[in-house]
Amino acid sequence: MKYFQFSLFVITFMIISCQEKPGPLFLNGQWIDLSHAYDDHTPYWPTAEGFDFDTVFAGITEGGYYYSAYQFSSAEHGGTHIDAPIHFAEGKQTVDEIPLDRLTGSAIVIDVRDSVAEYIDYQINTVDFQNWEAKNGRIPDGSIVLLNTGFSQYWPDKNKYLGTEARGPAAVALLHFPGLHPDAAKWLIEQRSIKSIGLDTPSIDYGRSSDFMSHRILFQADIPAFENLAYLDRLPTVGAYIVALPMKIKGGSGGPLRIVAWTPDA
């Protein structure tokens, strides 16, 4: 009987404790939208269909009230979007299979804007990560890695952002923008433990790539990539918290992404 009374006391205490008003999950900070909006000017890969937005109805109905509805179509990989591992790795996760834990968490920001300013086809390499660690310490396990190349400043100017306005297969050879070097992708997989990676260019591989090796290395390890991000310059080097939720397309290789960051007040 005494054991039962003690157990009842413990359970009651736990219930009362849980009912105490908790503080906000995100306190003393701000949310930053890292996503570009979709419209007629959104840059897409030269071989992909662009964003199409049509009006079904917008106006006053016969009933006298306002109503609007639209329909859109888009390639999976355009605008701010996610690449699911299956995009370049057979049998790996589709966009609806990516665990939420891979899409949320603490971020670090690697700033390579100076290197990109000197060479537009710059590939972020292992030394860039090692230099970051020399200043900030080892990349924490479970980090979301964001690469700030400064390229979002050119959005949506296709000539500056993609390197060309041309369309079709032949235009792929004209692409120019920075990306992640395959050696650095391999180093991240083998030497560090990250959740996901993202950057402010059209592809995790640089524009001149023809084998997309960084994609292949990352996706074989089920590491998704976020592409065409915005406003990475507004994030601290460490301390931001990312929420990256894509359209949940069953069996999809990617999809439109709304990605935001919470940053604490300085």
CATH superfamily of 28-39+76-264: Putative cyclase (3.50.30.50)
Query: The tokens of 55 are what?
Result: 């009006």
Range 118-146 average pLDDT: 98
So where are the chain's domains? 28-39+76-264
Per-residue confidence (pLDDT) for residue 266, from 0 to 100: 73
- pTM assigned to the model: 0.89
For residue 21, is pLDDT > 90?
Answer: no
* Residues 6 or more apart whose Cβ sits within 8 Å of residue 210: none
Measured CA distances, 252 to 94, 96, 106 (Å): 5, 7, 26
Per-residue confidence (pLDDT) for residue 85, from 0 to 100: 98
Tokens 């100076």 belong to: 114
Query: The tokens of 88 are what?
Result: 């370049």
Least confident stretch, 21-25, 209-213, 229-233: 21-25
Per-residue confidence (pLDDT) for residue 9, from 0 to 100: 45
Helix, strand, or coil here: 233?
helix
Least confident stretch, 24-28, 69-73, 198-202: 24-28
pLDDT confidence bin for 163, thresholds 50/70/90? very high
Range 170-176 average pLDDT: 97
Q: Which residues pair with 262 in a beta bridge?
A: 31, 241
